[in-house]
Amino acid sequence: MKLAKRLWLIFGPILIAMLGVVVLLFWPGNYGQSRQDNVEKAAVSLSPNVFKGNLLKSAAFDQNYVPFIGSSELSRMDPFHPSVLATKYRRNYRPFLLGSAGTQSLTHFFSLQTAGKELTGKKVVVIISPQWFVWNGIQRNMFSYYYSNLQTNNFLEKAKANDPMAEYAATRLLQLPSGSSNPTLTEAIIRVKAGVPLTNWQKTYLRLSGRLYDHEDSLFSQLFLRDNRGTIAKGEETLPSQYAPWVLDDLATQMGKGETTNNQFGIQNKFYDQRVRPVVGKLKDSQIGFDYDYGPEFSDFQLLLDFFSRHKITPMFVIPPVNDKWAKYTGLSQEMLDLFDRKIQYQLRTQGFNHIEDLIDQGNQPYFMQDTIHLGWRGWLAVDDAVRPFLENQQPTPKYKINKSFYTKTWQKKEPRDIPDMRAGK
């Protein structure tokens, strides 16, 4: 008896803790409902756990939150940022920011796997950064940073045999370390890549593991959220009480002028001092030969278009410029950017995606860019001029014509000069 008691004292607490974890993770009750305060915080947090999870995104998209999909430009929260303007002027929508440094098309495709149902028939805004479209595509470590098994679990549960979208997504996932992070999921991904159905065992595993991942999401996704609501509120205080585009443009010009006084590039003072000044000499002509016209990102981007089509989502695409003065200093080719614009718009327009705000040639406008590649001040106002009426007014039901050839290496390597120019006004 003494031995049994001693063993219980040693192992009992461990067994109880393990049992508690199992019950907590697998209990079917829906105790993981998100608090509204956390939804509001998540909408502007840009935190990785928001990308990885489902709970907060689903709760937000069930309301009047609209996904603003992009990358690091969404963190430039000056007073003219979409989240500030929508809150200040009580728009009938609120941006839900899905973008941070390193997020690209593939990240967003898998992140949206956890929220397709809630987005069906709705609108989204996508900011397409030309810098995504480098020859090698997304960096492995950046994809891993925003990846979760919950995303892949949801993707696999919906994947169908002989589906070009699923096969390409599986192929790309297997090319990245994340695709091999779970042996059972990896075996299922391999089958999807091959265009064959999952086994009954794999379907059972996905159902059980999905419950586990959902409970983990319920428990942990609402922890450690960055709270940027104070920044949004501070931006609101700067704005006039009534929305007036010309007044806002004057204010943006004044603010931009006052915050770009220590350099000749029109870059925000703080950014220039911290990121550019220490290396400015080394960056002269450093971007000669940079190219955004080829690579796997064009096919990764097609995953998003396919996803939008299947869920009857109406997106607006914003194509931002590069700071023109900075581009000339570093040798970045404006002709190359124009060819990128031509290629990506061909991919969009030939498939029926016609809501496009093309700003690629606006990089020479004063106070349009906050730094070298990120929108700011008057740039955000230009975005708002297009996005506000798009989101506030009803749009015609889109008619898409998805073309699977955009998943091929032939398209990735396609010379933009050989593509018909379908851009408005060209």
pLDDT digit string, tens, across residues 267-286: 999 999 999 999 999 999 99
pLDDT tens digits along 132-189 = 999 999 999 999 999 999 999 999 999 999 999 999 999 999 999 999 999 999 999 9
3-state secondary structure of 314: strand
Question: SS3 for 62-117, per residue?
Answer: CCCEEEEECCHHHHCCCCCCHHHHHHHCCCCCEEEEECCCCCCHHHHHHHHCCCHH
Name residues whose C-beta falls within 8 Å of residue 48's C-beta, 6 or more positions apart in sequence: 100, 145, 146
Backbone dihedral region for residue 312 (phi beyond 0: left; psi -120 to 50: alpha; all else: beta): left
Give whole-number Cα distances, 228 to 57, 84, 88, 234, in Å.
17, 11, 15, 10
What are the extents of the domains in the chain? 1-29, 31-426
Of residues 246, 331, 307, the one with CA closest to residue 69: 307
Token output for 130: 């030309």
The pTM of this model reads 0.92
Backbone dihedral region for residue 425 (phi beyond 0: left; psi -120 to 50: alpha; all else: beta): left
Name residues whose C-beta falls within 8 Å of residue 292's C-beta, 6 or more positions apart in sequence: 130, 131, 132, 133, 134, 336, 337, 340
Whether the CB-CB separation of 146 and 57 falls below 8 Å is answered with: no
Distance CA 372, CA 358 (A): 18
DSSP structure string for 349-376: HTTT---EEE-TT-TTSTT-BSSSS-B-
Encoded amino acid at 405, one letter: S
Q: How many other C-beta atoms can be found within 10 angstroms of the C-beta atom of residue 339? A: 19
Strand partners, 124: 315
pLDDT of residue 216: 86
Token output for 327: 């581009």
State whether the Cα torsion 51-56-58-64 is positive or negative. negative
Q: What is the pLDDT along the chain (426 residues), one digit of tens a residue?
A: 556 555 555 554 555 445 545 544 554 444 445 588 899 999 999 999 999 999 999 999 999 899 999 999 999 999 999 999 999 999 999 999 999 999 999 999 999 998 878 999 999 999 999 999 999 999 999 999 999 999 999 999 999 999 999 999 999 999 999 999 999 999 999 999 999 999 999 999 999 999 999 888 887 777 778 999 999 999 999 999 999 999 999 999 999 999 999 999 999 999 999 999 999 999 999 999 999 999 999 999 999 999 999 999 999 999 999 999 999 999 999 999 999 999 999 999 999 999 999 999 999 999 999 999 999 999 999 999 999 999 999 999 899 999 999 999 999 999 999 999 999 877
pLDDT tens digits along 59-76 = 999 998 999 999 999 999
Backbone φ and ψ of 399, nearest 5°: -125, 105
Whether the CB-CB separation of 51 and 104 falls below 8 Å is answered with: no
Sheet hosting strand 356-358, strand order edge to edge: 94-98, 65-69, 123-127, 314-319, 356-358
Backbone φ and ψ of 89, nearest 5°: -105, 20
